[in-house]
Every structure is written in C-alpha cells, then in structure tokens.
Amino acid sequence: MSISPPIVEVPFEPPFSLADTLKSGQLFHWEELTLSGVPGFAGCIGDSGPCWIGQTSEDCVVTLEGQESVVSRYFGLDQPLAAIHASFPKDDPVLTTAIDYCPGIRVARQPVWECLATFITSSLKQVVHIRSISMTLRRRYGKVHLFAGREFFAYPDPAAIAAAGEENLRKCALGYRAKSLSLAGAAISSGEVDLAEIEEVLAAREAKAALMELHGVGEKIANCTLLFSCGQWGAFPIDVWIERILREHYRKRLKGAKLQAWAEDYFGPNAGYAQQYLFHYARKTL
C-alpha cells in the first residue's frame, strides 16, 4: 500500500525513546500502526486528524510529510535536553540512576484541554484504566477520523463533554470523576475558564491557581496539566510513586505543601523533567 504523503525523517538531538515516552504515564491513546513496513504509532492530537510517528533507530524518528513540526513539538523533540540536564542538582545518584534507566523519555506538549481532562479522569486509577476511559470517551463523544483504513477518535471538546452530562459520563467508568469532568467541560466551553490564557499568558503560580478553581482539580492534576501541556517544566506532580521515592531515597518525611516546595526548590527550574525520570524509574523498578 503506497503512502501519501511520504514518510520523512524528523531531526532531533538524541536521546529519544518513543516506546518509553509512550509508556511513561503522560499519554494514553496512541495505537500501534505499521506504515510502509515501518512500525509506529498513530493518534489524534487535539481535534485534528491522526498523526503518525515511527522510530527506526536510536537517532532516527520518522513521520508523514507535513507533520514534522507537530510531531516534534508534541513529543518534545525540540526541547534543549542538554541544558535541561545541566540544570539538575549535581551529584544526585538517585536522579542519575533514573535518567540512565530511561534516558530517552521526553516531556510531551499535549493540547491543554485534552491533558487536563485526561488527568481529571486519572485520579486513583492505573495506566491501563486511564487509557480505557480515554478511549471510551473518544469513541462515544469525539470526532472520528479515517486513517490507513482504521478509525481514530479525537478527544471530545469541552462542549461535547458538557453536553454529555454527569450521568452519561458515569457510564464511561468515571465514577465520582464524572462530576469533575462535566463541570470542567461546562466552565471551559462557557468561557468561564480560559485555557489559552492559562497556557500562554499566566505565570506558573497564577496558572496553577486558575486550574485549581475547577471542581476536582487539586495540585497534582494542575501540575500535570502545566507540565505535560503548557511547557512549564518547573511543575512537579507528586503522586504515590514520587512520594515513595522521595521518602525512601531522599529521606524526606515532609508532606503536602512542604514536600512540594522542597521538591520544586531542590530539582530546580526543570523539576518536572526530573520528576518524569524518577516517576518512570520508580514505577518500573520499585
């Protein structure tokens, strides 16, 4: 089967691992798809049609012609990895071990609504369940796109989520999270909350506060949104895995706001990037 547009290489500074990035707890809807004999993954970014990316070697990533800039931004291939690493604390054997375990992870830059909504539905859920919920919401309320003979679904926009209502969202295995997602969709589709302002205008603390005004959005979900969609790499989400590694390997017995403040100060302006290495390492090895 011929592919049009053709497959082209995407320049980036290694290391990068597509497989590790997709398994690192940021992204939940990408599906395996081989094109022209090249194994890869396809998925919708926002409400546009599907993008496709494959990795042929440690230093070569390919996509469809015309998708290079979208794929590069989404998967963080344009990020200054060396400078980010240089900002980390020196002589930290725990972080060094974590980076060595998964050096190719990049922090994604997802559409803000899609990221926020996904993490609202992620509360107290494992990755497999988060993916299942995301795919159910996409199939029931998202726009369908045909690509390579298959159906791919965009994440439903805020208006579609608001129109679905809490009762129907509960039928997507959301449980109590349905209320939070429904109210977030209503607030954003009505203009009460401006996600574009949060992403492009507000500073980190203001943006976090604005997100936390939404029902069910606490500090962890707000930080995930800032980190994985707004490019605010100083955001440091703390979940059970991160709290465990900070307690067991950094000997930190702090809780809540004090632990959050310590982590942001210790890991520095790119603390969220450090968090992602630590999170993946802890989840896979502890």
Residue 125 sits at φ, ψ, to 5 deg, of -120, 150
**Given this model, what pLDDT does residue 228 score?**
98
**Given this model, what pLDDT does residue 47 score?**
85
The percent of residues above 70 in pLDDT, for the chain, comes to 99
For 202-221, the pLDDT digits (tens) are: 999 999 999 999 999 999 99
Provide the token pair at 216: 């069910």
Position 27 pLDDT exceeds 90: yes
134 Cβ contact partners less than 8 Å away, ≥ 6 residues apart: 28, 29, 118, 121, 155
Provide the token pair at 95: 């972080």
Position 6 pLDDT exceeds 70: yes
The Cα–Cα gap between 106 and 273 comes to 8
Position 28 pLDDT exceeds 60: yes
Q: Any bridge partners for residue 87, and if so which?
A: none
Decide yes or no: CATH 1.10.340.30 for domain 112-229.
yes
Mean pLDDT of the chain: 95
Q: What is the mean pLDDT of residues 61-75?
A: 97
* pLDDT class of 241 with cuts at 50, 70, 90: very high
**Given this model, what pLDDT does residue 4 score?**
57
For 105-152, the pLDDT digits (tens) are: 999 999 999 999 999 999 878 889 999 999 999 999 999 999 999 999
Residue 252 CB coordination number (10 Å): 16
Cis peptide before 15 (omega within 30 of 0): yes
Residue 258 sits at φ, ψ, to 5 deg, of -70, -40
For 53-62, the pLDDT digits (tens) are: 999 998 999 9
Domain limits, the chain: 7-78, 112-229, 240-285
* DSSP reduced 3-state for 63: strand
Residue 108 CB coordination number (10 Å): 20
* pLDDT class of 286 with cuts at 50, 70, 90: confident
More confident residue, 58 or 183: 183
The single residue listed with the structure tokens 């500074």 is: 13
**DSSP per-residue codes, the chain:** ---SSPEEEE---S---HHHHHTSSS----EE--BTTB-EEEEE-TTSPEEEEEEEETTEEEEETT-HHHHHHHTTTTS-HHHHHHTSPTT-HHHHHHHHHSTT-------HHHHHHHHHTTTT--HHHHHHHHHHHHHHHSPEEEETTEEEEPPPPHHHHHHHHHHHHIIIIITTHHHHHHHHHHHHHTTSS-HHHHHHTS-HHHHHHHHTTSTT--HHHHHHHHHHHS--TT-----HHHHHHHHHHS-----HHHHHHHHHHHHGGGHHHHHHHHHHHHHHH-
**Given this model, what pLDDT does residue 211 score?**
97
